[in-house]
Amino acid sequence: MTIFLCRACGTSFDEADEAPEICPICSDERQYVPASGQAWTTPEKLAGTHRNAWLQLEPGLMAIQTVPAFAINQRALLLRTPSGNVLWDCIALIDDATKTIIDALGGLTAIAISHPHYYTTMQDWAAAFDAPIYLHAADREWICRPSDYIRLWEDDALVLSSAITLVRGGGHFAGGTMLHWSGGDGKGVLLAGDIVQVTPGADHVSFMWSYPNMLPLSAAEVADVAERLAPWPFERIYGAFSHQNVRQGGQEIVARSAQRYIDRLSGPAQ
């Protein structure tokens, strides 16, 4: 019996003799099935050809990204606090070196994931570190491989510690989640996944229903995401991909970007 990984999105599926016919994450309109067709690999094969690279983004926050790029190519973020370490979002590769490094840093007290595109091998990360996985219940239908470590939460916020709160933003997915960290300097940090996505100039963010298929959210949905974030002060934003880092003015950037998006959807002024 084999655990199969989707090559397009990295999602893992329960043990089976044969690969699934289709990945439901990719067949959803927010992702895509490659023109070459659905393809699969295994955790063992992935570990034989790839490794994880580490980068410190700021004190207490490190990025983990698989090289060469695999599937969606998002990064996971390791948040280190006096209350324990939290893995934000997930990547498919969990190799021996990654386990050794995280164990040396104190292990994990929790895993939290922004939305189903980054569920990947969350079950294996949780088992390796005996850590619960926090997913918003609104996205439960997208869990492709069950695990006793999964903890579904509801409502609009979940406090993980005095410094860390999960905030439901919605938008991209009904349960789309962001992580608010008070930060070492107290100014606040937003780990955004791609519920809000940092643009190349790092001075705006954007909001989409589907990024690869370029399908927008409605003005009302964008306003709702911005409203849900408004009570949480943050100076810096770290997005799902390498170099998606806003170093200052993050809260104002989100508010301004949301209004710009809404204005464009509303059409030119008469």
CB atoms within 10 A of CB 53: 12
Residue 130 DSSP one-character state: T
- Is the bond preceding residue 68 a cis peptide, omega within 30 degrees? yes
pLDDT band, residue 131 (cuts 50/70/90): very high
The pLDDT, as a whole number, for residue 185 is: 87
Rounded to 5°, the CA angle 211-255-228 comes to 80
The pLDDT, as a whole number, for residue 93 is: 98
CB atoms within 10 A of CB 82: 8
Reduce the DSSP state of residue 100 to 3 states and report it: helix
Ramachandran category for residue 149: left, alpha or beta (phi over 0 → left; psi -120 to 50 → alpha)? alpha
Among 226, 210, 218, residue whose Cα is nearest residue 265: 218
d(CA 30, CA 25): 8
The pLDDT, as a whole number, for residue 186 is: 87
Among 76, 33, 79, residue whose Cα is nearest residue 58: 79
Q: Is the pTM of this model over 0.85?
A: yes
Q: What percent of the chain has pLDDT over 90?
A: 96
Tens digits of residue pLDDT in 196-228: 999 999 999 999 999 999 999 999 999 999 999
d(CA 51, CA 211): 26
CB atoms within 10 A of CB 174: 14
Tens digits of residue pLDDT in 83-119: 999 999 999 999 999 999 999 999 999 999 999 999 9
The pLDDT, as a whole number, for residue 268 is: 62
Tokens found for residue 175: 């349960």
d(CA 186, CA 182): 5
- Do 112 and 101 contact (CB within 8 A), yes or no? no
Contacts of residue 118, Cβ cutoff 8 Å, sequence gap at least 6: 10, 72, 74, 76, 89, 90, 91, 193, 240
Which ranges constitute the DSSP H helices of 122-249?
122-129, 219-229
Among 81, 49, 80, 78, residue whose Cα is nearest residue 65: 78
